[in-house]
């Protein structure tokens, strides 16, 4: 089937199956183009609560589709590639989190949305990279156990005076591989360009940046800045959206390694298969869902 035929069939099936396609900004360009909505984790969590169609095809990684299911238990949520996971989300298990809670009984547990439903069920509240600071500040506790990303935890710790952040030892292999040397070399190659990085990068890299923020934060910064060129320190997929929205500005990826293998697993053909065969269906056990959704809903009520 030609690429255009695949796109036409996706559009036709979407109507027939009463489906909406949501995609994270790290998805490949072709998938972003067929999506009804493209956004970051927070925007997508908000968007799923507004969906009217009976089926959501979630082009992203497993925890994102699972969060969509938590917020929409009555809808059919499909993840086109079941193996598309987030290795960082797997760095914390509910058992290990329960043990840590016993060690820090006075701490509130804030879990990054990049986590399983079972981990969300053991947490007090969720956050994303765009609202982590506000979420932490909303908690009455002085101590916060922040799971699983130690780099986001470090970024948050620098913006919440009076709070003690206890970081988990997780990290994103894609973002944390960016080095200070990458920043130095990119600044030499593109003098005058602003450096904008995701808080999943290491604290050393974040300190060298002009701006640190989530994907939606980077989009906003770029649109408001008078600068004409940007060095982007997050997953390569975001450059498609940035270039489309800002055709007169120039964008350079901070490091060649900024490609998340899991986010790149979903292709147009997988979206087509998802619609044709109704796969892969995301399910969450009732008891886990009941507790996990509270963490997500608390987050959405804060920001
Ligand atoms: P956002 O919260 O910016 O969408 O990032 C999600 C993610 O997986 C970052 O690697
Ligand atoms: Fe997970 Fe990193 Fe990929 Fe985001 S970029 S989905 S944190 S592995």
What are the CA-CA distances from residue 293 to residues 34, 66, 71, 285, 298 (Å)? 29, 10, 6, 12, 8
Residue nearest to atom 7 of ligand 2 (CA): 172
Neighbour count for residue 41 (Cβ, 10 Å): 26
Residue 237 to residues 33, 165, 211, 297, Cα–Cα distance (Å)? 12, 31, 19, 28
Start-to-end CA span in the chain (Å)? 44
Tell me, using a 6 A CB cutoff, whether residue 260 lines ligand 2: yes
- The confidence score (pLDDT) of residue 56 equals 97
* Residues of the chain with confidence (pLDDT) below 70: none
Minimum CA distance residue for ligand 2 atom 5 = 260
Ligand 1 binding pocket mutation candidate from 114, 152, 175, 213 (most atoms within 8 A of CB): 114
On the question of a common fold for 3-84+263-284 and 180-253, the answer reads yes
**Residue of minimum CA distance from atom 6 in ligand 1:** 41
Give the class (CATH, top level) of 180-253. Answer: alpha beta
User: If you measure from the C-alpha of residue 82 to the centroid of ligand 1, how many angstroms do you get, rounded to a whole number?
Assistant: 19
Ligand nearest to the CA of 23: 1
* Euclidean distance between CA atoms 132 and 177, whole angstroms: 22
CA–CA dist 11, 25 (Å, integer)? 20
Asked whether the beta carbons of 19 and 41 are under 8 A apart, the reply is no
How many CB atoms within 10 Å of residue 105? 7
Q: Is 1 helix (H, G, I), strand (E, B) or coil?
A: coil
Q: Which residues of 205-223 are buried (b: 16+ CB within 10 A; e: fewer)?
A: bbebbebbbbbbbbbebbe
Kindly indicate whether the domain formed by 89-171 is annotated with CATH number 3.90.79.10: no
3-state secondary structure of 151: helix
- What pTM, to 2 d.p., does this model score? 0.96
Contact 295/121 with Cβ under 8 angstroms? yes
Q: What is the pLDDT of residue 42?
A: 84
Please, are residues 27 and 62 in contact by the beta-carbon 8 Å criterion? no
Q: Which of 58, 91, 114 to mutate to test the pocket of ligand 2 (most atoms within 8 A of CB)?
A: 114
Site to probe by mutation for ligand 2, drawn from 170, 235, 253 as the one with most ligand atoms within 8 Å of Cβ, is: 235
CATH, domain range 3-84+263-284: 3.40.50.10800
What's the pLDDT score for residue 303?
A: 76
Establish whether residue 262 lines the binding site of ligand 2, counting it when its CB lies within 6 angstroms of any ligand atom: yes
CB 178 near ligand 2, within 6 Å = no
Task: Calculate how far, in angstroms, residue 87's C-alpha sits from the geometric centre of ligand 2.
Answer: 7
Domain boundaries, the chain: 3-84+263-284, 89-171, 180-253
DSSP 19: E
Ligand with smallest separation from the Cα of 61: 2
């Amino acid at each position: 089937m030609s690429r255009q035929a695949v796109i036409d069939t996706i559009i036709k099936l979407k109507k027939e199956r009463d489906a909406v396609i949501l995609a994270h900004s790290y998805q490949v360009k072709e998938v972003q183009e067929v999506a009804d909505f493209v956004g970051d984790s927070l925007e997508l969590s908000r968007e799923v609560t507004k969906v009217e169609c009976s089926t959501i095809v979630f082009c992203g990684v497993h925890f994102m589709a699972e969060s969509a299911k938590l917020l929409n238990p009555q809808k059919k949520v499909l993840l086109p590639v079941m193996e598309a996971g987030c290795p960082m989300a797997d760095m914390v298990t509910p058992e290990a989190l329960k043990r840590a809670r016993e060690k820090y009984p006075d701490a509130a547990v804030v879990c990054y949305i990049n986590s399983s439903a079972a981990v969300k069920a053991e947490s007090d509240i969720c956050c994303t990279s765009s609202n982590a600071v506000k979420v932490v500040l909303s908690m009455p506790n002085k101590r916060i156990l922040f799971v699983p990303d130690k780099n986001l935890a470090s970024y948050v710790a620098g913006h919440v005076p009076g709070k003690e952040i206890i970081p988990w030892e997780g990290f994103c292999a894609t973002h944390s591989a960016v080095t200070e040397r990458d920043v130095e070399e990119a600044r030499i190659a593109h003098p005058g360009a602003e450096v904008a990085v995701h808080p999943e990068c290491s604290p050393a890299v974040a300190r060298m940046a002009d701006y640190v923020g989530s994907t939606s934060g980077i989009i906003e910064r770029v649109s408001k800045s008078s600068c004409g060129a940007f060095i982007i320190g997050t997953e390569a997929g975001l450059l498609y959206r940035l270039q489309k929205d800002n055709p007169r500005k120039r964008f350079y990826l901070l490091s060649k390694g900024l490609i998340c293998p899991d986010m790149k697993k979903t292709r147009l053909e997988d979206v087509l298969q998802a619609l044709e065969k109704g796969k892969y269906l995301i399910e969450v056990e009732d008891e886990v869902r009941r507790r996990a959704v509270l963490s997500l809903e608390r987050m959405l009520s804060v920001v």
